[in-house]
């Protein structure tokens, strides 16, 4: 009893995530799991061979704290080729335990108690707990999951003297929206005018559709100089289980970032860093990703097109949102659970990505699945009762 009184939760509002809940329900009902936000297929055999090579060649002790140098050099080259921005491997790039660690450390580095941080919701679920653990206050700009454009007026209205940082995510999970050049220019002007730190989550940077380009904050000098850019190899190489990511930031930001990174994990898994460094030398390995996923998006969308959902094709990421507002009034969580139980297809209710209770009557489906899984799931969705 005494012990119970002593331990006061630092995250009293955090419970079991919807991802864990939906995956458990999918497992229980042997449902096709389009809720899980990770690939159903394996990474390339070549990448597996490279890991094997580096494990056998003795790359099994601690990597340097900022990351294995060949990997930081490869990231620097890749970033320069993608966005023309120069990040020095020694001073500006840190290899992290997935983008989740990069985001957590960037937020911890930037946010002090009482600082306000602007978060666009729906949002990836790690941002808000990280802000709160630093004593910061999340300030939400709420977007409809089917939004057409960012309401910059609403963003401006949120800025106060206490606003320290803004978190952005493009391509976006869960909406599949990709920010335009104009969005980034507006962000740059706002960030400069209010001296904001930008934390940019770009884990889906190589998954953009219909000829769109991913525009990194790294490619806009006035943004790059005030930003932490967080990336992940998990999404790019179908290796989410490796938890290998990175953070790009100017040297003085990186120096502070590394002070926290070194006491959180010190360094991350060595042979995998060497393997990815080598694998990155062939740009086709990541430049082919958009076409790979665009075909899957189209396959899935085509197979569900007669159901009557309101569905705008995803612009990027491996998520497709559908609104069923014109088919049913059912609450999105209740519907996602019922579809899992009744027809055996699991999805994520998009309300789960909002800070407070909402119901936009929208479900998120992950199409990083085998074609057969997508077609089977679509077939079952066509039989559903709405």
Ligand X SMILES: Cc1ncc(COP(=O)(O)O)c(C=O)c1O
Q: Which residues bind ligand X (CB under 6 A)?
A: 37, 98-100, 124, 169, 173, 201, 203, 232, 234, 240, 243, 245
Contact between 231 and 102 (Cβ < 8 Å): yes
Q: How many CB atoms lie within 10 A of CB 291?
A: 9
Least Cβ distance, residue 101 to ligand X (angstroms): 7
Q: Which is nearer to ligand X, 231 or 271 (CB)?
A: 231
Least Cβ distance, residue 202 to ligand X (angstroms): 9
Give the residues across from 32 on adjacent strands: 345
Structure tokens at 240: 């989410």
Least Cβ distance, residue 236 to ligand X (angstroms): 10
Q: Which helix (H) or strand (E) holds 322?
A: strand 319-323
Determine the 3-state secondary structure of 269 from DSSP.
coil
Integer Cα distance of 48 and 359 in angstroms: 42
Integer Cα distance of 112 and 105 in angstroms: 13
Least Cβ distance, residue 158 to ligand X (angstroms): 21
Q: Which is nearer to ligand X, 37 or 39 (CB)?
A: 37
Query: Among candidates 152, 225, 158, 154, which has minimal Cα distance to 195?
Result: 225
Determine the 3-state secondary structure of 23 from DSSP.
helix
Q: Using the CB atoms, write b or e for 9-19: b if 16+ within 10 Å.
A: eeeeeeeeebe
Structure tokens at 317: 């990421």
Least Cβ distance, residue 228 to ligand X (angstroms): 13
Least Cβ distance, residue 181 to ligand X (angstroms): 21
Integer Cα distance of 69 and 60 in angstroms: 15
Query: Among candidates 241, 206, 231, 243, which has minimal Cα distance to 98?
Result: 243
Q: Which is nearer to ligand X, 187 or 343 (CB)?
A: 187
Query: Among candidates 126, 109, 127, 108, which has minimal Cα distance to 118?
Result: 127
Q: Which is nearer to ligand X, 170 or 270 (CB)?
A: 170
Q: Which is nearer to ligand X, 105 or 303 (CB)?
A: 105
Structure tokens at 30: 């042997």
Integer Cα distance of 334 and 336 in angstroms: 6
Least Cβ distance, residue 127 to ligand X (angstroms): 9
Least Cβ distance, residue 148 to ligand X (angstroms): 21
Q: Which is nearer to ligand X, 109 or 240 (CB)?
A: 240
Q: Which is nearer to ligand X, 37 or 67 (CB)?
A: 37
Nearest residue to ligand X on Cβ basis? 98
- All residues at 6 or more sequence positions from 176 whose CB lies less than 8 Å from its CB, including other chains: 314, 315, 316, 317, 319, 320, 321
Q: Which is nearer to ligand X, 126 or 328 (CB)?
A: 126
Cis status, amide bond into 97, omega within 30 of 0: no
Contact between 381 and 343 (Cβ < 8 Å): yes
């Amino acid at each position: 009893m005494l012990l119970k009184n002593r331990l006061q939760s630092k995250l009293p509002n955090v419970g079991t995530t919807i991802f864990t809940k939906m995956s458990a329900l999918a497992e229980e009902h042997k449902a096709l799991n389009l809720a899980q936000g990770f690939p159903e297929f394996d990474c390339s055999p070549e990448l597996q061979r490279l890991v094997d090579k580096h494990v056998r060649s003795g790359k099994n002790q601690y990597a340097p704290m900022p990351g294995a140098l060949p990997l930081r050099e490869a990231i620097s080259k890749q970033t320069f080729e993608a966005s023309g921005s120069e990040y020095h491997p020694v001073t500006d790039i840190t290899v992290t335990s997935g983008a989740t660690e990069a985001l957590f450390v960037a937020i911890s580095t930037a946010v002090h108690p009482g600082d306000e941080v602007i978060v666009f919701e729906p949002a990836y679920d790690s941002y808000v707990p990280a802000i709160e653990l630093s004593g910061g206050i999340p300030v939400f700009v709420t977007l409809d999951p089917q939004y057409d454009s960012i309401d910059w007026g609403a963003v401006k209205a949120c800025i106060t003297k206490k606003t320290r940082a803004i978190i952005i995510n493009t391509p976006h999970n869960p909406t599949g929206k990709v920010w335009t050049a104009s969005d980034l220019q507006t962000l740059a002007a706002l960030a400069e005018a209010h001296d904001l730190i930008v934390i940019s989550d770009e884990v889906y940077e190589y998954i953009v559709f219909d000829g769109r380009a991913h525009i990194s904050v790294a490619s806009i000098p006035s943004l790059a100089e005030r930003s932490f850019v967080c990336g992940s190899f998990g999404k790019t190489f179908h290796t989410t289980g490796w938890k290998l990511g990175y953070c790009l930031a100017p040297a003085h930001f990186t120096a502070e970032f590394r002070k926290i990174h070194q006491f959180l994990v010190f360094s991350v898994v060595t042979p995998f860093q060497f393997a990815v460094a080598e694998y990155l030398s062939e740009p086709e390995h990541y430049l082919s990703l958009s076409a790979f996923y665009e075909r899957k998006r189209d396959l899935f969308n085509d197979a569900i097109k007669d159901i009557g959902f309101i569905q705008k094709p995803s612009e990027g990421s491996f998520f497709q949102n559908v609104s069923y507002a014109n088919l049913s009034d059912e609450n999105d969580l209740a519907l996602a659970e019922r579809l899992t139980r009744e027809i055996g297809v699991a999805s994520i209710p998009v309300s789960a990505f909002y800070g407070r209770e909402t119901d936009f009557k929208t479900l998120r489906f992950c199409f990083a699945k085998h074609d057969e899984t997508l077609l089977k799931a679509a077939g079952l969705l066509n039989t559903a009762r709405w």
